[in-house]
Amino acid sequence: MASSTATAWLADLTSLFTPTLSQFDGAKAHRASIEARLDYVLGVYRMFEIGSLRHGTGVWRYSDADYLVLLKGIQPASPLTMLTKVKDALQARFKSTTITIRQPAVVCHFSDGVVEIVPGYVASGGGYMIADPTGGWMKSFPEDHNRYVNEINAKHSGGGAKKLARHLKIWKYQRNVPVSSCYLEMRAAKFLSEEAAYVPIIDLHYALKHLQNIELASMNDPTGLGSRFGSCSSESTKSDALSKLDTAVQRSERALDRHLANDHDKAIEQLKLLFNR
């Protein structure tokens, strides 16, 4: 990127890592066959697209096509039982495809794209019961969560909440930070819900600083509906994430300081380090 200012560099970064819909045509083409197979073996109540691609916060090269599949029947005691049944059903249908379990999803690595299937059940009182990445079940309200992010996003000119969420996710993927993408998106929206304006380089630093101050603490569902959002799958991965977060805060602070001093070359240099570019 040959950007003249740090602000322009961040805009170019956003553009570069924003996926086009056509880039996932291959992965999405498997939807019908996946739904048909699961309906035949397990019974499907409903299947619909969720996740960052659907919601406009996906990251090029990293985000997958994600679907929530609501199964018929009785919810088992362990979500691993459900995940294993879904994996086995799909593996029997797509024999040459690598299929793995990565809670809360079953991941299908097709040759033309990756598809993540999040199986679950309709919950009493609303929402859906899906596997919690840290174990057990959790209640999820993906449509309401998307609505919350959209409301905050519309508050700022140019869609600040989704841009900030994408910047945090780019950092996560480019620096291999073991933190939940959903957690970062909800934290970005919550952070900007209390800000009067969105300034990319300023809010990037202070959002990272906020995550550092709270030590990636779990987050109450801001809609007041679902389970708490956890940041990491285990204490060991959280330790790794916090270490990388410390480095990110230092680099974003230097970038902001250089930006405010109109030393854009140095600011961009720090942003390149932050995003591993």
Residue 70 phi/psi, 5° resolution? Answer: -90, 120
DSSP 8-class letter at 238: H
Q: What is the rounded CA–CA span in Å between residue 98 and residue 118?
A: 16
In 3D, which of 45, 69, 68, 71 has the Cα closest to residue 55?
68
CA angle 256, 55, 147 (to 5 degrees): 95
What's the pLDDT at 200? 93
Q: What is the rounded CA–CA span in Å between residue 149 and residue 45?
A: 27
Helices (H) and strands (E) in the chain, counts: 11, 7
Instruction: Break the chain into its structural domains and give their ranges.
Output: 6-18+144-274, 21-139
- Using 50, 70 and 90 to split pLDDT, how confident is the model at 65? confident
pLDDT cut 70: percent of the chain above it: 97
pLDDT of residue 85 exceeding 70: yes
Structure tokens at 201: 């380089």
Q: What is the rounded CA–CA span in Å between residue 152 and residue 111?
A: 37
**For 71-79, what is the mean pLDDT?**
95
Q: Which fold has domain 21-139?
A: Beta Polymerase; domain 2 (3.30.460)
Prediction pTM value = 0.87
What is the tens place of the pLDDT at every residue in 193-251?
A: 989 899 999 999 999 999 999 999 998 888 888 778 888 888 899 999 999 999 999 99
What is the tens place of the pLDDT at every residue in 40-58?
A: 999 999 999 887 766 677 8
Q: Could you count the other beta carbons within 10 Å of the beta carbon of residue 185?
A: 24
What's the pLDDT at 2? 62
